[in-house]
Structure 1
Amino acid sequence: MNRPLAHGVGSSHDLPISPFHAYAGAFAALFVSFLALGLLWSASRFRGADGGRPLPAAVRRAADAPALRTGLRGLGLLAGAAVCLFLLAGPDDPDRNPAPGAVHVLFWVGLVPASLLLGPVWRLLNPLRALHTGLCRALRRDPATGPVPLPDRLGHWPAAAGLLAYTWLELASPEPASAGALLAFLTGYALVQLAGAGLCGRGWFDRCDAFEVYSALLGRLAPVGRRADGRLVLRNPFDGLDATPAAPGLVATVCVMLGSTAYDGFSDAPSWIDTVQTSPLGRTPTATLGLLGAVALVGVLHSVCAGVVRLISGPVPHPFTAFVHALLPIAAGYLIAHYCTLLLTEGPRTLLLAAGSRPADGPAPPLGPGALAALQVTAVVTGHVLGVVAAHDRAVRLFPAARAVAGQLPILVLMIVFTLGGIGLLIA
């Protein structure tokens, strides 16, 4: 019988977190940061796509070397083929088959620290890019273009839909770790992406591939990136955040990132487990409604915040997306807090399974309960503080000086709501 892979670190009530100290510390950090920024930060300091110091020429040449890029693309193709082979020929049991762990842990969870450190790494490893390029060469077509121009209004909407489909598989489907379910998802996803790239060219992957967009958004916080002139630079991560393009569907993608992680944490609560088990609708429909509700709630809160900001500060260019980049550090903080132990315990176990070993369990958590609790709360609070800083810098650029601080009050309230909700998921 298949068992879903464990998520997070187990029951949240096992963590020795004092609710009063966690909430008070988080509120104080956000409020003090807001006051300090309002008093000391009166002009925009971030340079967006123009920021950063070029890395040494030798480093840039090595990073852009065709041999390295070809090798990484080949590595991604090899890893993807291995996962498919394990799904097709391996046992339909996640205790003996490494494929579920490779997808749900090494790939999905591991993509977070890799992107935060190195930038949009999945763009270099994506096996679907390699398949698309190979097919185009076989057909003597230019992979950069297709018969249909990629519509600007499409934006990231397919990426948001793809992320929602994957998180449904992971969090709400009947058997998320079964070989059949994973194989069906990966096959369907690959066909959709290859069809899109075949119609619109490889630019489809940049904007519409769910995992490339996910990696690229998290990679906005990486200390390395590319300037507008294409140079690889060492940069202030806030410059990367500030350069986030306001594409259609961006808000929906970020809402899926935040809402799905929040639902994953809430789904461990005993009250929700009882609701799912006793619901007359059945487990899967109830879990699906819970996931959709969490994503919708994040979207509604963001929409209300954007509307109030406009009422207070007057017309704002692209009001719905003007501050969505400030939610990316919050999403990163949630992901780190929720999945760090899963990666460090289930990740090595998956590698041992792939190597032919049969470990009973993964290694013990590298941190004790107290240290783990501190790490989780710190990740959530740090993400929100970074979001406040990013939002403040954008506000003093967009709003007149007299309205800059007042215009941020709805954003501060939203940050506090998200912070308290995130900590509540850890200690409830």
Structure 2
Amino acid sequence: MIPVPRFTVALGTVPTHPITQRYDLPVSPFVTGCITGAMVLLVALAWPGVRRPRTSPLPVVESWRNGLSPLVVIPRLLAVALLVVAIIAGRVGADDDLENIAPALVVGLAWPVLVLASVLLGPVWRWTDPWDSAARVLTRSHPGDGPGSVWPAAALALPWFWYLSAYQYPLAPRSVGLMLAVYSLVTVAACLAVGRVRWLSTCEPLGIVLAWIALLPRGRLPDWEPPRGAEALLGVVAGGTLFAAVRRSELWAAPNSAERATLLATLGLLAFCAVGALAIWCLAIVAGSRSTRPTVAQAVVPAVAGIVVAVAMDRNRLTTSLQLLPGLLGDPFGLGWDLLGRPGAGLNPAPLGASGLIAVQLAVATAGYLAGAIVLARSVRRGERAPVAVGLSLLCGASAIALATH
């Protein structure tokens, strides 16, 4: 169970609320949320100009599309090897998350680093997707199989975020190995059953979202035509990720100490995912015109990327994994090989400090929302931006409060 402080109110004192207290920032989480939300609203409404739209929708560079060049095959083989090592290490290696490569590689690094790399470099997942690589060897897809509704991916994302956000021991090596093995088997088996392209383009949430995020560095999000269910998938990813931050904050202190903490966390996760999906869907409805509605999903994509990276930094998980990885690569199973140095030697558990960590998290999350505001401004005329701009502003404020209440 996650240890949390209990608050007591002495006689004669005024009771406080988590969002109005000061933690490691000069102002309260509520004020922080107001400031960041106002910044996003200002940029969304004031950013000049509308870019000339394309005459046809922009194709997304997904991992499953077309053939693979020899240059792509090499990093894919490395990704498959790392996947196999992580599964084996998680299941039979050292049962210590600081001496086993699986937690640091899969939970600590893979998810946020892939998102960050997609933001900075583009379609990184096409160069690394291990499940598509395995499925290509075992099955062939018909050329006519293509992307459709991604509603199934929104549903299949729930177990993934339950493990990351609601499960009590996401860094336990045995749990990481089991989760990774089950997800890999289900994904490859489904590719065999229904077709590689069909499954990966409609049901595999990780690859779908990474392909969308990869449009950001090339400035091509305004030309992207979101598929059916895009708002639901983005809402589940945003809600599920933010719940991880909330569960580790003072806002969830009482449920964490309850007898059925995991059940309450599961219900909380479902509620957050439902609210996230509903909020983005309502923004799309309020957007009004048929030409404006796709910009909601376009604007939310960079916001989701910022949320994922910011929450991954919580409790110094990302920085700790980066420091552990070199040594763990030399001894992935915790057998004492010491080929690249001992894992954890010279580890700095809090390199940014408490205040610095929260400040960087808020900066990353806010940068994602600001990028979303610019995407909105490049696609919609000033007079039509207000509903979506206000929605982005409120989502940014809520995200800042969740991150700051630690």
Q: 1:120·1:212 contact (CA, 8 Å) conserved in 2?
A: no
Matched, 1:32 2:42: yes
Which AA in structure 2 matches 1:251?
E
Within-5 A mapping of 1:132-143: 132-136=135-139, 143=140
On the 8 A contact 1:86/1:97 being kept in 2, the answer is yes
For 1:417, which of 389, 394, 397 is the aligned residue? 394
1:226 match: none
Distance 2:222 2:290 in 1: 16
In the TM superposition, what are the counterparts of 1:25-424 in structure 2 within 5 Å? 25-37=35-47, 40-41=48-49, 43-45=50-52, 47=54, 66-136=69-139, 143-145=140-142, 150=145, 153=148, 155-198=149-192, 199-202=194-197, 204-222=199-217, 235=218, 237=219, 240-278=220-258, 282-310=260-288, 315-317=289-291, 319=293, 321-340=294-313, 341-356=316-331, 357-359=342-344, 362-396=347-381, 405=383, 407-424=384-401
The residue identity in structure 2 corresponding to 1:316 is R
Task: Give me the whole-angstrom Cα distance separating, in 1, the residues matched to 2:124 and 2:245.
Answer: 26
Task: Give the TM-score normalised by structure 1.
Answer: 0.75
The Cα of 1:150 is off from its aligned counterpart by 4.4
CA distance 1:152–1:338, change in 2 (3 Å): closer
1:217-253, Cα deviation, whole Å (9 max, x unpaired): 221212xxxxxxxxxxxx3x2xx21233321221121
Cα distance in 2 for partners of 1:87, 1:193 equals 19
Whether the 8 Å contact between 2:108 and 2:321 is mirrored in structure 1 is yes
Aligned residue type for 2:370: V
What is the distance in 2 between the residues matched to 1:24 and 1:131? 47
- For 2:44 and 2:73, locate their aligned partners in 1 and report how far apart those are by CA, in whole Å: 46
Measure the CA separation in 2 of the matches of 1:24 and 1:179: 39
Q: Distance in 1 between matches of 2:327 and 2:237?
A: 29
Alpha-carbon contact 1:352-1:359 (below 8 Å) kept: yes
1:168 CA drift (Å): 0.6
Q: Mark the CA change 1:17 to 1:349 in structure 2 (over 3 Å): closer, same or farther.
A: farther
Query: 1:72-121, CA deviations, whole angstroms, 9 ceiling, x for partnerless residues?
Result: 11111111111122123213332332212211012112212111122232
Tell me the C-alpha RMSD between the 2 structures: 3.1
Distance 2:188 2:210 in 1: 19
Paired position in structure 1 for 2:338: none
Q: Which has the higher helix share?
A: 1
Residue identity in the other structure for 2:302: P
One-letter amino acid of the structure 2 residue matched with residue 283 of structure 1: A
More displaced, 109-118 or 12-21? 12-21
Relative to structure 1, is the Cα distance of residues 49 and 270 closer, same or farther in structure 2, using a 3 angstrom cutoff? Answer: same
What displacement does 1:287 show?
0.5
5+ long unaligned stretches in structure 1: 5-11, 52-63, 137-142, 223-234, 397-403
TM normalised by structure 2 equals 0.79
- Using the alignment, how far apart are the partners of 1:65 and 1:178 within structure 2? 35
Residues 373 and 90 of structure 1, relative CA distance in 2, 3 Å threshold: closer
User: Using the alignment, how far apart are the partners of 2:141 and 2:121 within structure 1?
Assistant: 25
Question: Aligned pair 1:15/2:9, yes or no?
Answer: no
Contact 2:306 2:366 in 1 (8 A): yes
- Tell me, yes or no, if the aligned pair for 2:292 and 2:380 is still in contact at 8 Å: no
SS of 2:257's equivalent in the other structure is helix
Q: Please tell me whether the aligned partners of residues 326 and 390 of structure 1 are also in contact (alpha carbons under 8 angstroms).
A: yes
Give the percent of matched residue pairs that are identical in Structure 1 and Structure 2. 24
Tell whether the 8 Å contact from 1:98 to 1:351 is kept in structure 2 after alignment: no
Distance 1:316 1:131 in 2: 39
TM-superposed CA distance for 1:421, in Å, is 0.8
